[in-house]
Amino acid sequence: MSDNAVEDLIQILNLEKIEENLFRGHSPDASWQRVFGGQVIGQALVAAYRTVEDRVCHSLHAYFIRPGDPKVPIVYEVDRSRDGGSFTTRRVIAIQHGKQIFNLAASFQKPETGFEHQAKMPDVPMPEDLPTEIELRKEAMSQLPESIAKHFARPRPIEVRPVNPQKYINPEPMTSDNYVWFRARKPIEPGNYALHQCIMAYASDMTLLDTCIRPHGVSWISGKLQSASLDHAMWFHEPFKADEWILYAMDSPSASGGRGFNRGSLYTRDGRLVASVAQEGLIRYRA
């Protein structure tokens, strides 16, 4: 991505319509060996939104089936499963090289009111009191191979400030409790709530998979860890702005069978719980 990383992200989420219910998306030039999972989630949600009117996504459930190839476009096929009186359901299939790489089911609701309660936000430092992820990465970059250091230094659309980061080099076992503040680096169109949701969906795949390896004191930088998202579920509870600070409070209740399970709660800085996430990922370590 260029220095205008947020504008680049918005452009990546702005899918091309190629036929009714068919859309095409591209990956940034700076993609790593495979397409970032959050990008596919965000683009699939955009594709679903392009077939829905006057309703807001309240949940999505997705499976990663094959690694995405960043060198070729991704075709998104939307199935208009149901248009009901209160809820609308869509299924989206992402295709590359003639094969399904990802699928997503999303549900949209007509706004309404009802009972309200929520879990309390954890007591953590505010983002202004924390170093940026870039500052933390600079400490490790001199010890990394050039290819990884270059990847670390690239401009990113999402600003991240970890509360309790694990070391990149020679990490030690830590509790799985993982807290990160994040926000889009530049203002997002305020009246386009669907775009704010799609950007949060994109960001929700960042740092989440790392949560289940924290107790084991390992790092992907070693080259011995194989990790990948297997599935991803997200629930949107209340309105929010993706360009304002969001606390991502994560934990990992379980790891077994070469898989790690992760949970996340997303809070605005004033303590409103605006979304929840759950994900299972592949984690294999070869000593």
- What is the predicted pLDDT for the residue at 1? 43
Q: Average the pLDDT over 15-30 and give the result.
A: 93
Q: Rounded distance, CA 276 to CA 251, Å?
A: 12
Residue predicted with more confidence, 88 or 166: 88
- State both tokens at 153: 């230094």
pLDDT at 272 over 80: yes
Contact of 44 with 194, CB cutoff 8 Å: no
Contact of 25 with 43, CB cutoff 8 Å: yes
Tell me how long the chain is. 287
CATH of the domain at 273: 2.40.160.210
Catalytic residues: 205, 229, 279
Mean pLDDT of the chain: 92
Confirm whether 184 is domain-assigned: yes
Q: Which neighbouring-strand residues pair with 61?
A: 105, 233
Confirm whether 121 is domain-assigned: no
Confirm whether 122 is domain-assigned: no
pLDDT at 30 over 70: no
Q: Rounded distance, CA 247 to CA 180, Å?
A: 6
Q: Rounded distance, CA 135 to CA 61, Å?
A: 34
Confirm whether 220 is domain-assigned: yes
- What is the predicted pLDDT for the residue at 261? 98
Confirm whether 120 is domain-assigned: no
- Indicate the range of 56-60, 75-79, 113-117, 152-156 predicted with least confidence: 152-156
Return the percentage of the chain with pLDDT > 70, whole number.
94
Residue predicted with more confidence, 46 or 171: 46
Model confidence at 155, pLDDT cuts 50, 70, 90, reads confident
Q: Kindly report the pTM of this predicted structure.
A: 0.93
Confirm whether 119 is domain-assigned: no
Contact of 119 with 265, CB cutoff 8 Å: yes
Residue predicted with more confidence, 182 or 141: 182
pLDDT at 147 over 70: no
Model confidence at 153, pLDDT cuts 50, 70, 90, reads low
Q: Average the pLDDT over 14-20 and give the result.
A: 98
**What is the number of structural domains in the chain?**
1
pLDDT, tens digit, 9 for 90 and up, residues 75-119: 999 999 999 999 999 999 999 999 999 999 999 999 999 999 999
Confirm whether 209 is domain-assigned: yes
Confirm whether 258 is domain-assigned: yes
pLDDT at 31 over 80: no
pLDDT, tens digit, 9 for 90 and up, residues 199-231: 999 999 999 999 999 999 988 777 788 999 999
159: containing domain? 5-111+127-285
**What is the side-by-side strand order in the sheet with 273-285?**
16-19, 22-25, 74-83, 87-96, 99-109, 56-64, 225-236, 273-285, 259-268, 246-256, 178-184, 158-162
